[in-house]
Each structure stands twice: as structure tokens, then as C-alpha cells.
Amino acid sequence: METLSQLFSQCQQWLFETAVQPLLFHLGLASIIEDAYDGTMWLLVGLVQIVIMVAIFGALERWRPVEAVRDRQQVFVDVVYTLVHRLGLFRILLFFTVEPLWDSVFGALHTWGLATFQLDQVWPGVTDGPWASLLLYLLVFDLVDYCYHRAQHRYSWLWALHSLHHSQRQMTLWSDNRNHLLDDMLRDVVIVLVSQLIGVPPAQFVAVVAITQLTESLSHANLRAGFGRLGARLVVGPRFHRQHHSIAYDASSPGPAGGYNFAALFPVWDMLFGTARFDGDYGPTGIHDQLPQGGGRDYGRGFWAQQWLGLRRMFARAEPRRSDRAPAS
């Protein structure tokens, strides 16, 4: 791990000095040079991920696709979402919105003498090793993601945003980042809060994010493949997660009826909380209300249309029902 870390640091330094730093000086933004160096790290992580996705996951999709791609325009929109998130554009948005708030909040907490809990020190000599601590952080953040994902399907206003993700009826390796930006910002607030509370080192946090994102890209892939009876219970794969995107939803629910297979990395959380299903196949994906018999709801075909319609759905869910409003005088 140390050798990989050194190689990554050298690549980050080269990319920053060759491209990012000259651009900042040209634009008169030298004041944010330290933050830009961290941003270069996320840019490099994203580039590595995209290379893996195209070279490996793309080859797997061509090898054993679940279905022929019929709507390439929607796949292209998913590519846009992926580039926005993986190449750091979304993190630039967070830098100017959420991060200043977090810096002030945690700065005040440290000033008051409130120390961060160090999760990797719960078992000195065991959990503080690089691989053991990485696995520990992956488990913790996957549990956090599991809980947040359950909330997205439980609360109607969150489902109004998250339903954009489920509206893709042609799932591919690019579909993971097809999310409403507000939904992603809310999730990021939760993830940053947890990372600060348990004292995750920056390098480990980057590794957790990269591993999680790559696994989610694979689990969304248009790939007819499983990990076997045992492997399917250890790591989330395309078959396990495709069941979560099944179009067989209950029209009376704000999200899928009950819901299942919520975990991003480890099915153990679904198994522990009774939401795991391993009996499904590679059926059609989407949301019931996209179908003519479900009302034929429009979730938008372009990036901005999808974002706008998501906000409209959220505010519509937040309005009181007609029967709850006070009668007119």
C-alpha cells in the first residue's frame, strides 16, 4: 500500500505542477492553491476510475450484456453525471457551498476542546493497521450508506429526489452517478459528518470513496454475472443490485414496496436487517409510474430537465394533502 501511495502522490504532484497550478495563476486564483492541490487528488482518482470503468467494466458489458442498449441518449446523460462527479466538478460545488460551513463548525468544536473519536484505535495493534482500518472504514461507511439509502426509499420528499436514480431503464456502468445534485449534497453532509466524528485519515477516506464508487459502477453495469452463492453474500454485484432497481414496485408506496438490496458494498447489512433477496433474475428496471398504467410520469431526458423535475416532485410531496388543508371560509 505504501508503494501505491507514493506513486499516487508523485502523479498528483506532476498533474498539479503541470496543469492545475499554471491555470490557477493565469486565472488569478493563487489564493486557493492549497485547496486546488487537494482537488487535484480527487481529479486524479476520478481519472483512474474512468480508465478502469471503460477498459474493464466496459469490456465485461460487451462480453455478457443483460440487454441491448436501446436508448443511447439516456446513457450519454449518465456519462455526463459520471464526469461531473468523478472529475471533481461536484466537489467544486461543495467547496463553495457546504465545506465552508463544515470548516467553521468543526473548527469551533476543536476550539471548545471536543476531540475526535479515533475509530481505528479501538483495538491497538489490530484495527490501526492500514488494511484492517481500511476494511473497518468500508464497513462503517457502507452501514451509513445503507441507512441513508433506506431513508431515501422511506421518506417521500427524499424519494422525490432519489427516484431520478431509479428512472434509468437502461442500466449501465455509468448509471451509478445518475442522482439529483441536492440528494448528493445531503448525502455528502452525512458522510463528512461521520468521517469527522470517527477520525478518518484523508488517505483512507479517499480510498473508501474510490473503492465504493468503483464497486457501485460495477453493480450498476449491464452485465449478466454473479459472484456465486457465497460471493453474492460477501460483495454486492450486478445481479444483487439489479433486483433493487426492479420495476416491480407498489404504486401505493412513496418508493419500492418495502424495498430490498440497499447495500452498496456488503450484502451483510441487508442480511442483518432482513432486506436481502438473492432469488431474483435480470428483469426490467425503472419505476412503476413511468409505465402507461402507472401514469406515464416524465422524469426528464436531459440533465437540467431531470434536476428541475426532481425539485418539483420534492416540493409537491412537501405540500399538505388536500384533505389536510384548512377548509375555505
Q: Is 246 helix (H, G, I), strand (E, B) or coil?
A: strand
| Comparison of pLDDT for 126 and 95, the residue scoring more | 126
φ and ψ at 257, to 5 degrees? -65, 105
So what's the pLDDT on residue 126?
Answer: 73
Q: Which residue has the cell 445503507?
A: 146
Between 130 and 273, the more confident residue is: 273
Instruction: Tell me 326's DSSP state.
Output: P
Q: Which residue has the cell 461543495?
A: 94
Total tally of structural domains belonging to the chain: 1
Residue 191 lies in a domain: yes
* Under 8 Å between Cβ of 239 and 280: yes
Of 267 and 251, more confident: 267
Report the C-alpha gap between 205 and 195 in whole angstroms: 8
SS3 31: helix
79 found inside a domain = no
**C-alpha cell at position 225:** 454475472
Q: What is the pLDDT of residue 259?
A: 82
Contact 83, 89 (CB under 8 A): yes
Residue 17, pLDDT score: 86
Residue 302 in any domain: the answer is yes
Domain membership of residue 8 (yes or no) is no
CA count, 13 A, side-chain hemisphere, 202: 6
**Nearest partner of 140 among 200, 81, 53, judged by Cα:** 200
CA 223 to CA 218: how far, in whole Å? 8
- On whether residue 80 sits in a domain, the answer given is no
d(CA 217, CA 58): 10
Q: Quick check: 161 and 149 in contact, CB under 8 A?
A: no
For residue 229, what are the domain limits?
116-316
> What number of other Cβ atoms are within 10 A of residue 171's Cβ?
28
Whether 38 maps to a domain, the answer reads no
Q: Give the list of residues 6+ apart from residue 302 with CB closer than 8 angstroms, or none.
A: 77
Lowest mean pLDDT among 134-138, 235-239, 245-249: 245-249
Please give the backbone phi and psi of residue 246, each rounded to the nearest 5 degrees, phi first: -55, 145
CB atoms within 10 A of CB 127: 16
In a domain, 250, yes or no: yes
Q: Which of 153-162, 171-180, 210-219, 302-311 has the lowest mean pLDDT?
A: 153-162
Q: What pLDDT sits at residue 135? A: 93
Residue 312 domain-assigned (yes or no): yes
